[in-house]
Amino acid sequence: MTNRTAFVTGASRGIGRACALSLAQGGARVVVAARDRAKLEEVATEIRAAGREAFVVAIDLASADSIKAAFAEAAKEFGRIDILVNNAGITKDGLALRMKKDDWDAVLATNLTGAFVAIQQVLQGMMKERWGRIINLSSVVAESGNPGQANYVASKAGLIGLTKSLAQEIASRNITVNAVAPGFIDTDMTAGLSAELKENLLGHIPLKRLGRAEDVAAAVRFLASEEAGYITGHVLDVNGGMYM
């Protein structure tokens, strides 16, 4: 991964942060992007302390203009993006019967449309270079479904469809497109779950533990590597066996 530049969205915490750190350890220069610039600076400091290069950009995945500006800023600093990790995501849960259209739109706009617009920013450079890695963070619920999350599940299932279509479209240019589908990972997003709900969850996970952000980052780092060059259009489950 030496001399490669990676761009990670939602890199200020959780899985995105772990991905940024792992790719940096693998030798990549890393652009860390999210809305919270202060938290991004902390991640960048950690990467630089390990002797690697990091660059901070603010990005709002719900805004095409913000996405374009962030990638333009990154290109000025680091040039072409070789590895894109579409990790940023939001939830606005609610039963379908009562879900407001605004909540549907917001989740789809950030999780799916935002990821697509981000991909559009890097495709030309990757095609010219005839090398690229695009990794979309989906979710176990995209495969299994989950009540009360119609918008989130639709967005994450949409990412799997996007991954497979794009993989076929650009394979001839030596660009791979894969998805990683995490199960329940111990992050800020799951920290709010009650003890009872966690207990119930663990009953459905053969490995009997929540995943760690590092478990997901290891999968992302592998798919971003030279070694994964013959894998494309694949969904790699990192879920402790909860869905097979």
Handedness of CA 129, 134, 46, 89 (dihedral sign): positive
Catalytic annotation present for 152? yes
Contact residues for 93 (Cβ-Cβ < 8 A; gap 6+): 148, 149, 151, 152
For residue 228, the 8-state DSSP code is: G
Contact residues for 95 (Cβ-Cβ < 8 A; gap 6+): 147, 148
Contact residues for 171 (Cβ-Cβ < 8 A; gap 6+): 232
DSSP string, 26-72: TT-EEEEEES-HHHHHHHHHHHHHTT--EEEEE--TT-HHHHHHHHH
Distance, in Å, from the CA atom of 162 to the CA atom of 226, rounded to the nearest integer, reads 22
Do 205 and 183 form a contact (C-beta atoms < 8 A)? Answer: yes
Distance, in Å, from the CA atom of 156 to the CA atom of 120, rounded to the nearest integer, reads 18
DSSP run (H or E) holding 95:
none
Among the listed residues 55, 104, 131, 152, the single catalytic one is: 152
What are 53's two structure tokens?
A: 């290069």
Distance from chain centroid for Cα 2: 21
Residue 102's identity, in one-letter code, is D
What are 180's two structure tokens?
A: 């990683």
DSSP run (H or E) holding 195:
helix 195-202
Residues carrying an active site annotation: 152
